[in-house]
Amino acid sequence: MIYTREYLENLADSINRQYFPERLSSPSVLDGYDLLEALGCSYEWKYISPDDTIMGITFFDDGYWHIWPKGTYSEGDKPSIEIFPKGSIIINQRVLDSKRKGSDCSERFIVTHEAAHWIKDREYFESHPDSMLQTCYKNDFEKTFWSSSMTELEIIERQANYLGAAIHMPRDVITDAFFKAGRYKHRPTGPIEFKGYMRKWIAEIAPQFGMNFNPVKYRLKDLNIIFDPE
């Protein structure tokens, strides 16, 4: 299914309102695993790829996947096959193993991306019986925009990013936080051009949502709060 941005915004607000209503009034960090539990999904961490190629998998029916013995490939390594029930979310263990700065924020976004698949894409996958799981690749997490020239699966991935970001950063709350960081007395009526000094504002509010810099900037652009000059 292909949804409008307004539909996804409303869906994100309804998810927060149902499970974490306090998040619609002030900035806070969402634990994606709490969301998965609220949705009735199970989750595990497995080496679902011997590298960072695949970051997560959502099972829309009982299924199986190849599990590797460790997070890096050595000659002779062979994966085993494990069975996972419907509603399972599998996160690449390498995400947890990462010591890179901001890796905890990346993990939050990946987990909520998988939750977004479960929230919005069950109807699609249940109507496509040959595709009862969705594998999410590293490149799938880079952008939130989509266009009619993309394949349906590409749009599904981009919209999972959009919904996940909207759940983490509710539109009214992130907007208020940004203008508060900028010490605005009167909010502009239209989008404002992104300037270098605004990086400090984003750096200030990103930890309030448990996010890295780029997801916050993309979110503000998606909401038409800021724009980059041509």
pLDDT tens, position by position, 102-127 = 799 999 999 999 999 999 999 888 88
Q: Is the whole model's pTM more than 0.85, yes or no?
A: yes
**In the predicted model, is pLDDT for residue 230 greater than 70?**
no
54-79 pLDDT, tens digit each: 999 999 999 999 999 998 999 999 99
Q: 91 with 107, same domain?
A: yes
Rounded to an integer, the average pLDDT of 150-177 is 95
Question: Do residues 97 and 187 share a domain?
Answer: no
Domain count, the chain: 2
User: What pLDDT digit, counting tens, does each position of 8-34 carry?
Assistant: 999 999 999 999 999 999 999 999 999
Domain boundary among 146, 168, 190: 168
Residue-level pLDDT at 48: 97
> Are residues 161 and 176 both part of a single domain?
no
143 pLDDT above the threshold of 90: no
Q: What is the residue type of 36?
A: L
Distance from C-alpha of 192 to C-alpha of 121, rounded to nearest angstrom: 34
**Domain-terminating residue out of 151, 168, 185:** 168
Domain limits at 214? 170-230
- pLDDT surpasses 70 at 136: yes
Do 144 and 59 lie in a common domain? yes
DSSP result, the chain: ----HHHHHHHHHHHHHHH-GGGGTS-----HHHHHHHHT-EEEEE-SSSSSSEEEEEESSSEEEEE-SSSS--TT---EEEEE-TTEEEEEHHHHH--STTHHHHHHHHHHHHHHHHHHSHHHHHT-TT--EEEEEGGGGS-----TTS-HHHHHHHHHHHHHHHHHS-HHHHHHHHHHHTT-SS--SS-EE--TTHHHHHHHHHHHHT--HHHHHHHHHHTTSEE---
